[in-house]
Structure 1
C-alpha cells in the first residue's frame, strides 16, 4: 500500500525471511563466517543460537543462496516437538525421500543408502535443523548417530543446528556429551546496537528502492532501537507500521513523535507482544517464550487486513470526492 507513495519496489520490512534483504551486522557476519567455516571443514556440528526474531532463518537462507549446487545438497528441517523416531522420518522427508515407511532400522537404512548415493556422485549433504530448541535430547542424539555414516573417514552428512538460547541447556545434558565433542564451532547471535539498527533500517530501505534523504529523524532511530532492543523482527514490525502511518498521514519524514505514537498503538494490540514482556527469565534459566512467534504472525495478519480496509476506505473516499467535483462543475455550468 505505502510502496507507491514512497516510491519503493518492495516492502522493506516484511516479517517473512528474505535473503535478498540480508544485512550483515557484526553478529550476523560472524555467524555466517562460522557456518562457512563449517562447510569448509566438511564435518562436525555447527551450533548457532539467538533470540526469537534475531535473524537465524534469514541467515540460513542467505547461506543456501551461496551454496554450490553441484557440490552440496542442502536440506532444511524446521523442527517441532519431535521424539527420536519422528526426527529420523523428518530428516528423510527433508532429504526428499518418498514413501518413508517401516521401523527405525528401515528408515535409517534408507537415509544411509541415499547418503552413499550422493557420495558416489561426489556430492556432500548438509542438514540444517532450525528451531532446534524444540527437540528432545534423544532426538538430538539421533542426529549425532546420523553423523556416524561414513565412507572411509569421510562423513556422509554434516549438520548445522540453530535454535533459541534454551537449546544450549539441552546440549549441556550428560547424555549429549558425544555430540558436544563433535561441535567444531558455536555462536550466539545477539541483538544489534543503535548504530547497527539504523544501518539495518537504511539498508533495507535502499534495497527496496528508497532514493531520498533519510526517511527517519535521529530521534526516530533512537526510539526504534529503544523499543525493538535491536531485534530485527521487532524492528521490521515497527517500521512497517510506521511506513503505513506515514502514507496515511502523507509524511515525507517520520520523527520520534510518530514512532512513540505507533508504539503506543501497538502496545494496545491484543496480538502484539512487547519485546520487554517477551523476554523474561524463568527460574534463573534461559528465556522461553512459547507464543511469541505465533503472536507476531497474528499481528502481521491483522495488519494486512487493516491495510486492505484502509485502502478500500481511501479508494471509496476518492470516488466520492470525484463525484462531488463533477456535480459541482455541472451545477456551475447551469
Structure 2
C-alpha cells in the first residue's frame, strides 16, 4: 500500500463519509448554516438537494454531530420504506417501546405522546432522512402528516430531507403540492471549483498525515476538476488511483500522465481526448496486480 511511501497514517481518499475529513468549503458551510438556523427557528420541512457524490451524507453526519444539545434526532439512512415501516422506524429512533409490535393506530398515538413528552422536557425533535428521493409516494405523504403534530406555538417534529435532484422532479407533481408548500428552506449543493478542489485534496492529505511538498500541483488540480466535474466522490476515486500509480512507479510527484490514466479508468468522468484509454486500463491494472488488488480495493470500496 502507498501509505508508507507517501508518509500517510491513513487512506486520505476513501469513499466512507468521515467527518474528521470535513472541510468547510462554501457550499457545505452555507448548507450547514441554513439547516442549523432553520432548525433553531422551528421550521417544519427542510430540504438539501445535491447530485450523486456531492457530499450529502457527509453533511448529514455533520448536522447530526453539531446540532444543539436540546435537539433529539431520529435518523433514517435507508428510506425505501412503506408508511408503516417508516412510522415504526421513527418510533424506534424516538425510544417508543415495543414499537414493532403494536397496531398502527396505537403506534401513531404513542409517537404523538412521546413527542409531547419530549416537548415538555424542553426538547426539539428533528427527523433526518437521507436519500429521500427513494421514499415511496405513500411514505412521502406519511412524512407530511408527521408535521401535522404540533402545539399552538410550534411543530412537535421537524423534518430534514437530503436527496438527489430526482426528489425535486417528484415534488413538482400536483399530488405533492401540500408537501411542497410546507418546505420552508431549501438548499442546492453545487460542485467544487478548481481552487476548492485543490484545498480539498490538500486538506485530506494533511488530515491523513502527509507533511511533504505538494503532491497535486495547481495545474493538475485544475485538470482534475474538469475531469471530475468538481464532484467530491469522483475527486476521491481519481486521487486514490493517482497515488497508487505514483507508488507503483516509485515516484513522489504526481504528473499529468498519472491523472490521465486514473481519469480514463474511472466511470462518469470527462475523459481526456487523444489518450490511449486501453493503455491506461492495462497500465493501472498492472499496478493493481503488483500491489495486491484485494488489499488496495478493500481500502476504498
TM-score by length of 2: 0.85
Is the 2:10–2:209 contact (alpha carbons within 8 Å) kept by the matching residues of 1? yes
- Who is 1:47 aligned against? 47
Partner of 2:160: 160
Spell out, residue by residue over 1:56-82, the C-alpha distance to the aligned partner (whole angstroms, 9 max, x if none): 01001111211233x111121123432
Q: 1:64 to 1:243 in 2, by over 3 A?
A: same
CA contact (8 A) 2:91 2:111 kept: yes
Q: Which residue of 1 aligns with 2:268?
A: 274
Report the CA distance between 1:190 and its aligned residue: 1.5
C-alpha deviation, 1:183, in angstroms: 1.4
Measure, in 1, the Cα distance between the counterparts of 2:94 and 2:223: 44
Could you say which residue in structure 1 is the equivalent of 2:278?
none
C-alpha distance in structure 1 between counterparts of 2:234 and 2:95, whole Å: 34
Does 1:260 pair with 2:260?
yes
For residue 154 of structure 1, give the secondary structure of its aligned residue in structure 2. coil
| Alpha-carbon separation, structure 1, partners of 2:121 and 2:103 | 28
Task: Please give the root-mean-square deviation of Cα atoms over the aligned residues, in Å.
Answer: 2.4
SS of equivalent to 2:125? strand
Larger Rg: 1
Secondary structure (helix, strand or coil) at the match of 2:5 reads coil
Contact kept? 1:54, 1:232, Cα under 8 Å: yes
Q: 5 Å matches for 1:50-65?
A: 50-65=50-65
- Correspondence for 1:209: 209
How far 1:157 sits from its partner (Å)?
1.1
Contact 1:124/1:156 (CA < 8 Å) preserved in 2? yes
Deviation digits for residues 128-181 of structure 1, max 9, x if unmatched? Answer: 101000112321121111112123322111110110001001212222222222
Q: Which runs of 5 or more structure 1 residues have no equivalent in the other structure?
A: 268-272, 278-301, 312-334
Query: Offset at 1:275?
Result: 3.7
SS of residue matched to 2:72: strand
1:294 corresponds in structure 2 to: none
Which residue of structure 2 aligns with residue 242 of structure 1? 242
Shift in CA distance, 224/307, structure 1 to aligned 2, threshold 3 Å: farther
Query: Contact conserved, 2:80 with 2:134, CA < 8 A, in 1?
Result: yes
1:302-325, CA deviations, whole angstroms, 9 ceiling, x for partnerless residues? 9997152799xxxxxxxxxxxxxx
Calculate the TM-score normalised by the size of structure 1: 0.77
Comparing 171-180 and 46-55, the one that deviates more: 171-180
| Residue pair 1:217, 1:256 contacting (<8 A) in 2 also | no
**1:212-268 CA distances to partner (integer Å, 9 max, x unpaired)?**
22111233213321221100011111111222222222221101111112223x24x
Q: Which residue of 2 aligns with 1:75?
A: 74
Aligned partner of 1:308 in structure 2 is 295
How many corresponding residue pairs? 280
| 8 Å CA contact retained: 2:73, 2:126 | yes
Q: Which runs of 5+ in 2 are unaligned?
A: 272-287
